[in-house]
A = this chain, B = another copy of it.
Amino acid sequence: MIARPHQHWLPRILVWHGSVLPKIYSRLLLNFLLSIVVIAILPWYTSLGIKLTVAPFSILGVAIAIFLGFRNNACYARYVEARLLWGQLMIASRSLLREVKNTLHDEPNIAEFTRLQIAFVHSLRLSLRRQPAKAVLANYLDDKQLAQVLAVQTPANRILLMMGEWLAVRRREGKLSDILFHSLNNRLNDMSGVLAGCERIANTPVPFAYSLILHRTVYLFCIMLPFALVVDLHYMTPFVSVLISYTFIALDTLAEELEEPFGMEDNDLPLDAICNAIEIELLQMNDETVIPAKLTADKHYQLT
């Protein structure tokens, strides 16, 4: 997802792609049909002495709105933190290569080190999305490295260990003083921080009961809403009921998307594009000539 050009307010209201509408329109339709049924059976159940008014639903609606607001905040915070971590990976990647280039002036194999950096980035992306890593990592690692990396629980951490060893060899050869090794090593620690931060977001969801309680009350609220509105609004019930239901269900659904920011849904982070940008950046810093093409958004402003 990228920033869109400014649009007039009217056409924006009608956007379909990238909104959560494709996911929830069937539920809204159901709500509309239920409202019509309620209008039809109103005389019958009123004759049974059953009645519902708006006032109690007002208490419930406000309470749900407040709790939904807090949950959305919590899920959005995960999305923001996930993006922050990938931004820190960009910072650490650039800084690490800059320091290596500036301090290991005569080193002939910097490209080798850069391949480890790029492998780290792709490895992190693929494990967060639970996609197979072998084919991609084979572009950057030799066979022995690849075997070691794929054998462990956390491939990206093993790549960090290799980067540390690459630097440690230069230290033992006297090319890096202890203080400069320490400085470069701190950049590896930054990358270790990004790795564990992303794992934390991917493996620890918002407490399930939190999502469930809101999910449940939102649906029960929307189902009972037509019964409460029909006395006051009669024929207008379906329209108002769908509008209120849309507000609550859409935000509940969006919170679910944002909760797992490393997924492949419309509002998730474009990890492919971020990895691509880091790879281009590092190769350009080495003045490489063969550089991958920049990924661009599709016509719905979507990047993967």
Contact partner of A74 among B59, B76, B98, B202, CB < 8 A? B76
> Interface range on chain A: under 10, 10 to 19, 20 to 34, or 35 or more?
35 or more
Residues of B within 8 A of A269 (CB): 204
Residues of B within 8 A of A18 (CB): 208-209, 212
Please state if B62 and A72 are interface contacts (CB–CB under 8 Å). Answer: no
Chain B nearest CB from A50 CB (Å) reads 5
Report Cα–Cα, A18/B101, bound state, in Å.
47
Task: Given contacts A66-B66, A207-B258, list 9 more A-B pairs with CB under 8 A.
Answer: A1-B204, A1-B208, A18-B208, A18-B212, A60-B243, A67-B247, A91-B192, A102-B161, A180-B182
Copies in the complex: 5
Please state if A213 and B91 are interface contacts (CB–CB under 8 Å). Answer: no
Report Cα–Cα, A106/B280, bound state, in Å.
37
Please state if B59 and A244 are interface contacts (CB–CB under 8 Å). Answer: yes
Contact partner of A204 among B83, B99, B281, CB < 8 A? B83
Cβ < 8 Å to B, chain A residues 4-54:
4, 9, 12-13, 15, 18-20, 27, 48-54
Task: Let me know if A178 is at the binding interface, CB within 8 A.
Answer: yes
Residues of B within 8 A of A171 (CB): 103
Residues of B within 8 A of A205 (CB): 1-4
Contact partner of A58 among B58, B98, B172, B208, CB < 8 A? B58
Please state if A208 and B267 are interface contacts (CB–CB under 8 Å). Answer: yes
Which residue of the partner chain B has the closest CB to A302?
B208
Residues of B within 8 A of A66 (CB): 65-66, 69
Chain B nearest CB from A40 CB (Å) reads 14
Return the CB mask of A217-249 against B: 1 if under 8 Å, else 0.
101110010000100111110001001101110
Report Cα–Cα, A154/B97, bound state, in Å.
15
Q: List 14 A-B contacts (CB under 8 A).
A: A3-B204, A51-B234, A87-B197, A90-B196, A94-B192, A99-B164, A103-B181, A161-B285, A182-B183, A207-B254, A208-B301, A213-B250, A217-B246, A217-B247
Please state if B177 and A215 are interface contacts (CB–CB under 8 Å). Answer: no
A binding-site residues for B, Cβ under 8 Å: 1-4, 9, 12-13, 15, 18-20, 27, 48-70, 72-74, 76, 79, 83-84, 87-88, 90-91, 94-95, 98-99, 101-103, 105, 151-154, 157-158, 160-161, 164-165, 167-168, 171-172, 177-183, 185-186, 188-189, 192-193, 195-197, 199-200, 202-205, 207-210, 212-213, 215-217, 219-221, 224, 229, 232-236, 240, 243-244, 246-248, 250-251, 254, 257-258, 260, 266-267, 269, 277, 280-281, 284-285, 294, 301
